[in-house]
Amino acid sequence: MSKRFYLTTAIDYVNGEPHLGHAYEKVITDIIARTHLSLGQDVFYLTGLDEHGQKVQSAAKADGKDPQLYCDEFAAIWETFAGRLNLTNSDFVRTSSQRHKAFVQAVLQNLHDNGHFYQAEYRGFYSARQESFLTEKDRREDGTFDPIYGDVNELVEHNYYFKLGQHQQWLIDHIEANPSFIQPETRRNEVLGFLKNNTLEDLCITRPKERLEWGIQLPFDERYVTYVWFDALSNYASIPAALGDAAVAGPIGLDSKPAAPELWPADIHVIGKDILKFHAVYWPIMLKAMKLPLPGQVLVHGWWQKDGQKMSKTTGNVVDPVGVIEEWGVDAFRYYVVRELDIGPDGNWTDESFEARYSAELANGLGNLVNRSLSMLNRYRGGMLETTSDELAEDAEKWITKARRNYESHQIQAALISIWRLVDRANQYVEQTAPFKLAKQEDQSDRLNEVLYNLIECCRILAVLIWPVIPDTAEKIFEQVNFDGSPADFELAKWGGLAEGHTCNKATPLFPRKDLEKK
């Protein structure tokens, strides 16, 4: 066996329903996973839930539920959601599961035994109502705290700290020597700037149980639970360890399993810009202390707004991904988020731009091409390809090569732009060759056969090219073209796959025209 391409999303807090931001991150990760599958690699895609900590404990309390029950109920919703997005995830991690907890406790014991922790006193201003320590920034000009914090008292707490500071220069050197470790470039510069201009403080990795109960207990001091970020980041390694991957189990002193998938180190952690410091500073240092190799890349995406404003449940300014999927189909949703927004910058969802792309690029672009090509083949030739031809082969090969390069470098938006150049070329070819006119001219019968072949072969190739992004549509095209096998193999994107004498099925619309439906 060989190492699988292993990629992850952030794990979501289970204190609410999934929204556009969560959906976006899972979709881009899925497209990267499917790209590698299509290119012939074994892939392991991990996503899941971050269930411990103050946020979840408070949300469960507000709901009058035991935290475990509260998490179990939400977990079912989130797992269903992964299915709605058509994700190829190989596993689904929940941090309240025994397999995850066992790993975190083994790591804590290991780091404790190796002198990475120390105990110290923390003195600060604590708001019982907010259940958190306040900082100087929370103070008003007159030195008092806002009444929203309720009673604020100075509190002294004993906690365990993880020695981060001593690894600062090592981390700077690693980031400088590995330009692709944090991508895009702007995020890499942000981390380097932070590390070079600040002294890293040690990380408090515990919470006394009297303040927070909902967490993983320290194996060497039962008065404490583990800080939620230490717990959550560990998920990326806890699942490989639980599956028995020797590369991670070995160094922590856990048992490996003979037929376990080889996963660690992760190839890519996909995350949003707000949690960069945790993934690009704390996590690498945790791994170094665990004596585990670092992941290949932290890939950082931007944040979505709706109509130019922050999405917020209280104002109702949100995009409900499930609603969009129910109305427009999962492929329309997947397509829009990655065609509209490149991985990196922030994006803005508007219903107008969603509908415009649906109509121009999906319904009138790809959908119309497939529909009219197959309809003409059925009408004029009873569905049969009577010849082969390579008139559009050169154009197709050009866009296949570009799309492949874009996919390989995870530039999904650029890949789609290349692929739609081929959609446009083929639609233009219909206008130029006018098969509906050729069909009326008896002496143009051979020419019509050629034109039809070029069109249907383009549709078949397009199915392979779009599979990572809109897999359902790709599969429908293969069915309609009646091509055996699955479009999940990039090798099939080669001109000439359809043979003379091949018979296609009838066309059914891929993207129903909503404007017509409503009339």
Based on the shown chain and the rule CB under 6 A, indicate whether residue 93 belongs to the binding site for ligand MSP. no
Whose Cβ is closer to ligand MSP: residue 73's or residue 173's?
73
Whose Cβ is closer to ligand MSP: residue 30's or residue 50's?
50
Q: Tokens 């043979």 — which residue?
A: 499
Separation between Cα atoms, residue 374 and residue 455, nearest integer Å:
9
- Rounded least distance, CB 230 to ligand MSP, Å: 10
Whose Cβ is closer to ligand MSP: residue 171's or residue 507's?
171
**Per-residue string for binding with ligand MSP, 251-290, x by CB under 6 A?**
--------------------xx-xx---------------
Q: Applying CB under 6 A, which of residues 311, 366, 456, 493 lies at the interface with ligand MSP?
A: 311
Strand partners, 206: 226
- Rounded least distance, CB 51 to ligand MSP, Å: 9
Separation between Cα atoms, residue 264 and residue 254, nearest integer Å:
14
Separation between Cα atoms, residue 230 and residue 108, nearest integer Å:
9
User: Which of 113-121, 303-311, 334-342, 426-434 is the region at the interface with ligand MSP (rule: CB under 6 A)?
Assistant: 303-311
Based on the shown chain and the rule CB under 6 A, indicate whether residue 50 belongs to the binding site for ligand MSP. yes
**Per-residue string for binding with ligand MSP, 5-34, x by CB under 6 A?**
-----xxxx-------xx-xx---------
3-class SS of residue 31: helix
User: Which of 4-12, 69-77, 141-149, 291-299 is the region at the interface with ligand MSP (rule: CB under 6 A)?
Assistant: 4-12
Residues 212-241 that bind ligand MSP (CB under 6 A): 232-233
- Rounded least distance, CB 279 to ligand MSP, Å: 7
Token pair belonging to 348 = 């803005």
Instruction: Please tell me what DSSP assigns to residue 119.
Output: E
Cα four-point dihedral sign 438, 439, 441, 444? positive
- Rounded least distance, CB 412 to ligand MSP, Å: 15
Separation between Cα atoms, residue 423 and residue 230, nearest integer Å:
47
Q: Applying CB under 6 A, which of residues 161, 162, 304, 495 lies at the interface with ligand MSP?
A: 304
Residue 56's φ and ψ, nearest 5 degrees, are -75, -40
- Rounded least distance, CB 270 to ligand MSP, Å: 8
C-alpha separations of 277 from 93, 273, 284 in Å: 22, 9, 10
Based on the shown chain and the rule CB under 6 A, indicate whether residue 298 belongs to the binding site for ligand MSP. no
Q: Are strands 217-218 and 203-204 parallel, antiparallel or unpaired?
A: unpaired
Peptide bond into 261 cis (omega under 30): no
- Rounded least distance, CB 497 to ligand MSP, Å: 38
Return all residues near 320 (Cβ < 8 A) that are at least 6 apart: 19, 20
Whose Cβ is closer to ligand MSP: residue 300's or residue 426's?
300
Whose Cβ is closer to ligand MSP: residue 282's or residue 478's?
282
Q: How crowded is residue 196: how many other Cβ atoms within 10 Å of its Cβ? A: 10
Separation between Cα atoms, residue 284 and residue 434, nearest integer Å:
60
- Rounded least distance, CB 404 to ligand MSP, Å: 27
- Rounded least distance, CB 10 to ligand MSP, Å: 4
- Rounded least distance, CB 110 to ligand MSP, Å: 19
Whose Cβ is closer to ligand MSP: residue 282's or residue 420's?
282
Let me know: does 287 contact 68? Beta carbons within 8 Å.
no
- Rounded least distance, CB 348 to ligand MSP, Å: 11
Whose Cβ is closer to ligand MSP: residue 22's or residue 36's?
22
Instruction: Please tell me what DSSP assigns to residue 365.
Output: I
- How many residues at the interface with ligand MSP, by CB under 6 A? 18
Q: Applying CB under 6 A, which of residues 112, 194, 303, 514 lies at the interface with ligand MSP?
A: 303
Report the length, in residues, of the chain: 519
- Rounded least distance, CB 507 to ligand MSP, Å: 37
Residue 320's φ and ψ, nearest 5 degrees, are -95, 105
Neighbour-count burial for 226-242, b at 16+ CB within 10 Å, e otherwise: bbbbbbbbbbbbbbbbb
- Residue 438's Cβ-count burial label (10 Å; 0-12, 13-18, 19+) is buried
Whose Cβ is closer to ligand MSP: residue 234's or residue 473's?
234
- Rounded least distance, CB 513 to ligand MSP, Å: 30
* Strand extents, DSSP E, 410-505: none
Let me know: does 443 contact 491? Beta carbons within 8 Å.
no
Whose Cβ is closer to ligand MSP: residue 12's or residue 30's?
12
Whose Cβ is closer to ligand MSP: residue 286's or residue 464's?
286
Closest CA to 376 of 442, 438, 458, 462: 438
Contact footprint for ligand MSP (CB under 6 A): 10-13, 21-22, 24-25, 50, 232-233, 271-272, 274-275, 303-304, 311
